[in-house]
């Protein structure tokens, strides 16, 4: 089953995704897309690490997400990807539109053939004001298009607000 958990900053989306992964009763591999390049991001990563069960495997991959999913998805396993918007940011910062398109397309194309439970976490960025800068507008656009395409392919889509899940597609939580 493919699941997409959306929400704003500090909405509880990662915590919900971690609960769903635990509740799957399958071995879990956490796929981290962040690149902790500063002290604040290091603190966020440490907070996430401390919250995860020690038996979960960890893969850190900032760019080649489809490759990692294909290599690690198994029928008897749960993959938790946190988070797609950081992955998208990493690709946007390469300033290589072809690489961004290739990685996004590879992700969307591989989903139908992936076995097991896969949970994606992503920031819902389209509910705010239109950003002023070109890069931030492109980021919001790319995230919105990615979320639409992914939601179409997922069996469950959940929006998390104030720690409360609102099921948009699939069986309610």
Given 25, 48, 77, 147, the catalytic residue = 48
134-153 and 97-110 are packed helices; what angle lies between their axes, rounded to 10 degrees? 10
Q: Which residues contact 94 (CB under 8 A, 6 or more apart)?
A: 63, 100
Give me 142's structure tokens.
Answer: 């790319």
d(Cα 81, Cα 33) in Å, to the nearest integer?
A: 7
Name the average pLDDT for the chain. Answer: 94
- CB contact at 8 A, 148 and 126: no
- CB contact at 8 A, 62 and 35: yes
Active site residue 25: no
For position 49, what pLDDT does the model report? 80
pTM: 0.94
pLDDT tens, residue by residue, 24-47: 999 999 999 988 777 777 787 777
pLDDT tens, residue by residue, 81-100: 999 999 999 999 998 999 99
- CB contact at 8 A, 49 and 57: no
């Amino acid at each position: 089953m493919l699941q997409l958990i959306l929400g704003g900053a500090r909405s509880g989306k990662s915590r919900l995704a971690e609960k769903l992964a635990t509740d799957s009763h399958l071995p879990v591999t956490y796929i981290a897309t962040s690149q902790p390049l500063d002290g604040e991001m290091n603190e966020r990563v440490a907070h996430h690490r401390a919250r995860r069960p020690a038996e979960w495997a960890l893969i850190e991959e900032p760019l080649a997400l489809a490759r990692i999913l294909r290599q690690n998805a198994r029928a008897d396993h749960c993959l938790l990807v946190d988070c797609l918007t950081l992955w998208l940011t990493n690709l946007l910062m390469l300033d290589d539109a072809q690489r961004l398109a290739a990685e996004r397309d590879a992700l969307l194309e591989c989903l139908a053939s992936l076995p097991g439970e896969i949970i994606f976490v992503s920031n819902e960025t389209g509910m705010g004001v239109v950003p002023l800068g070109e890069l931030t507008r492109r980021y919001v656009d790319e995230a919105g298009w990615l979320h639409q395409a992914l939601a179409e392919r997922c069996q469950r889509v959940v929006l998390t607000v104030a720690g409360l899940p609102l099921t948009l597609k699939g069986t309610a939580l």
